[in-house]
Structures are given as C-alpha cells and as structure tokens.
Amino acid sequence: MNRANKKEKSEPPSKERALKVRKRLKGKKPNFRRQESWRYKRIKENWRRPRGIDSKIRKRVKGWLPSPGTGYRGPKEARGLHPSGYAEVLVHNVDDVEKVDPETQAIRIGRKVGGRKRVDISARAKERGIHILNPREERGPEETVT
C-alpha cells in the first residue's frame, strides 16, 4: 500500500486523540523564561520578548533559552478545551445553566457566587446532566460541638 492510499483513508483526529497529543506535547514544551531572570532577583521569570541588539536569545543562538513560537501549539481540535474534553462555560446564575450544551460543555461556577445560589446551580446542572468543573461538597446544617 503506497502513501497516497494511506492519506486518503486517514480520518481526522478525534477529540480524545487530540487531547492525548496535547498532553504529550506539553511535556516537551520548555519553560520559557525571561532573559537574565536567573541573574537578578528584581527580574521575574515571566516571559518578555528580548529586544536587545546583541541579545543571544533574540538571535536564537544555540545553547541559550528557546523562544515561544507557533510550533509549540497543540492540535486545533484540543485548543481551548478543559483536560476532561469539555469546553468551559462560566456560570453565575441558574439561567446561565440553561444555555449550556451537556454534550460538549461543562460549567465552572463563578468565584463570587455564594453558597445558596451555588447549591441551586449544582442541582439544576445535576438534573440536566452537566459536568461541574469546580464542585464543592454539599454540607448539611451546621452541627454544634459541645
């Protein structure tokens, strides 16, 4: 069987496969550090593009740090997805839960949402079979210890 036939038979990568590939590629991705951050305490490690005229990193000299580029991207199918395979949707009230597709999306309850509303949102999500990315253990009435 020649290569042309193999290319025709190959199907587009599935979401599960794309997530596995993304996870594998993430292990190979270097930790991009800011130039000279290892030398001075006042310079944080957060990446900043080197702009100096003699900068070894900007010139991509062998042995110096790598720079971020498009080659480090993950598969298109997996971009923007949670590791569980769902697309994240931020929810602040019960009405937002109604707009979510249980097949492809999962909800993350906003951090400013209080306990009472959180319970209502969790109950509605459970009814509709929606995955919650940041669940909390539901506690019963507070017990007093004597």
Lookup: tokens for 24: 């594998």
Q: Is this model's pTM higher than 0.85 or not? A: no
Q: List pLDDT tens digits, range 132-142.
A: 999 987 666 66
Domain containing residue 114: 80-128
How is residue 52 written in tokens?
């100096």
Do 34 and 66 belong together in one domain?
yes
Are residues 71 and 20 part of one domain?
A: yes
Do 85 and 38 lie in one domain? The reply is no
Residue 141 falls within a domain, yes or no? Answer: no
Domain check: are 40 and 64 in the same one?
Answer: yes
Residue 136 in domain: no
Q: What is the DSSP string of 17-79?
A: HHHHHHHHHHHHS-----TTTTT-TTS-SS------TT-HHHHT-TTS-----GGG---GGGT
- H or E element, residue 91: strand 87-91
pLDDT digits (tens, 9 = 90+) for 100-133: 999 999 999 999 999 999 999 999 999 999 999 9
